[in-house]
């Protein structure tokens, strides 16, 4: 049977099935994104803190999570944590895993963003009588976040793509459904291409958006 015939006969069924995986993909991606956003900031601040202990912890965390595959991290959380008495659901394991992994990457992005803000900004804030915390909160961070917007958009794309591994811990998202369809119909060619096309429909526009934000940021600086 030719490609087009398969597409004609079963294409609609494949499409509807694959699309039904998107809510799961999105419902993991969004909480992981916000988890990473907040936890990453905490890590970045610890990383730049004066206390050696907090710096050491942040560095160890960041290096470990950036130095090992996300898949191993997911497996430790999903299959390993029950040993310690906590049995996460596939959804929970995915959010914790991708969130903790993403936080390590974001911490470095935050740090670069914060360090890119000129020392004079901080000094001006101090001269106006702000505490270091207030200077960070009202003066440095707001500027850093504007600088980081393109990097954050890129991170969102990476995170979305990373959700394609969470079927390995049992989340029924797009890739899991694709694999099921292949088992059911043996049409791996059409199914995986279609799944790929669905990802591209989201990731390509997002990366164009990121590129545009980057251009704007350069123009703005």
Q: How far apart are CA 127 and CA 47, in angstroms?
A: 25
Which residue in the set 63, 115, 123, 184 belongs to the binding site for other proteins (CB under 8 A)?
Answer: 63
Nearer to other proteins, 25 or 125 (CB): 25
Q: Is 56 among the residues that bind other proteins (CB under 8 A)?
A: no
Q: For the residues of 67-132, what is the DSSP string, one character each?
A: HS-HHHHHHIIIIIGGGGT----HHHHHHHHHHHHHHHHHHHHHHHHHHTS-HHHHHHHHHTT--H
Q: Is 59 among the residues that bind other proteins (CB under 8 A)?
A: no
Q: Is 195 among the residues that bind other proteins (CB under 8 A)?
A: yes
Considering all CA atoms of the chain, what is the largest pairwise distance in Å, rounded to the nearest integer? 76
* Contact characters 82-111, other proteins, x per CB under 8 A: xxx---------------------------
Q: Residues 15-19: contacts with CB within 8 Å, 24+ apart?
A: 15/194, 17/177, 17/180, 17/181, 18/174, 18/177, 18/178, 18/181, 18/191, 18/194, 18/195, 18/198, 19/198
Place of tokens 């996460």: 88
Write down the least CB distance from residue 39 to other proteins, Å. 19
Stretch in the footprint of other proteins (CB under 8 A) among 8-16, 46-54, 64-72, 116-124: 64-72
Q: How far apart are CA 28 and CA 156, in angstroms?
A: 12
Nearer to other proteins, 72 or 128 (CB): 72
Contacts to other proteins from residues 158-177, by CB under 8 A? 161-165, 168, 175
Which residue in the set 71, 130, 145, 147 belongs to the binding site for other proteins (CB under 8 A)?
Answer: 71
Nearer to other proteins, 91 or 105 (CB): 105
Q: Is 203 among the residues that bind other proteins (CB under 8 A)?
A: yes
Q: How far apart are CA 113 and CA 66, in angstroms?
A: 19
> Between the CA of residue 176 and those of 27, 94, 164, what are the distances in Å?
15, 14, 8
Measured on CA atoms in the order 117, 123, 126, 128, is the torsion positive or negative? Answer: negative
What is the SS3 assignment for 138?
Answer: helix
Q: How many residues bind other proteins (CB under 8 A)?
A: 40
Q: Is 187 among the residues that bind other proteins (CB under 8 A)?
A: yes
Q: Is 5 among the residues that bind other proteins (CB under 8 A)?
A: no
Nearer to other proteins, 43 or 178 (CB): 178
Interface with other proteins by CB under 8 A: which residues? Answer: 3, 63-64, 67-73, 75-76, 79-84, 161-165, 168, 175, 178, 182, 187-190, 192-193, 195-196, 199-200, 203-204, 207
């Amino acid at each position: 049977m030719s490609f087009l015939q398969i597409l004609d006969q079963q294409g609609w069924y494949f499409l509807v099935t694959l699309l039904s995986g998107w809510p799961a993909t999105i419902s993991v991606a969004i909480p992981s994104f916000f988890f990473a956003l907040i936890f990453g900031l905490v890590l970045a601040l610890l990383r730049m803190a004066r206390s050696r202990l907090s710096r050491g912890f942040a560095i160890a965390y960041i290096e470990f999570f950036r130095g090992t595959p996300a898949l191993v991290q997911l497996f430790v959380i999903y299959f390993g944590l029950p040993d310690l008495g906590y049995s996460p659901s596939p959804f929970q394991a995915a959010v914790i895993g991708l969130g903790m992994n993403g936080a390590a990457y974001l911490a470095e992005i935050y740090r670069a963003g914060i360090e890119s803000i000129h020392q004079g900004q901080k000094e001006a804030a101090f001269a106006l009588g702000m505490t270091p915390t207030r200077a960070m909160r009202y003066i440095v961070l707001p500027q850093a976040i504007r600088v980081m917007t393109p990097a954050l958009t890129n991170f969102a794309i990476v995170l979305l793509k990373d959700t394609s591994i969470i079927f390995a811990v049992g989340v029924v998202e797009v890739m899991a459904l694709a694999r099921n369809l292949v088992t059911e119909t043996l049409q791996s060619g059409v199914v995986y291409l279609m799944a790929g096309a669905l990802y591209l429909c989201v990731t390509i526009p997002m990366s164009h958006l990121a590129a545009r934000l980057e251009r704007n940021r350069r123009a703005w600086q």
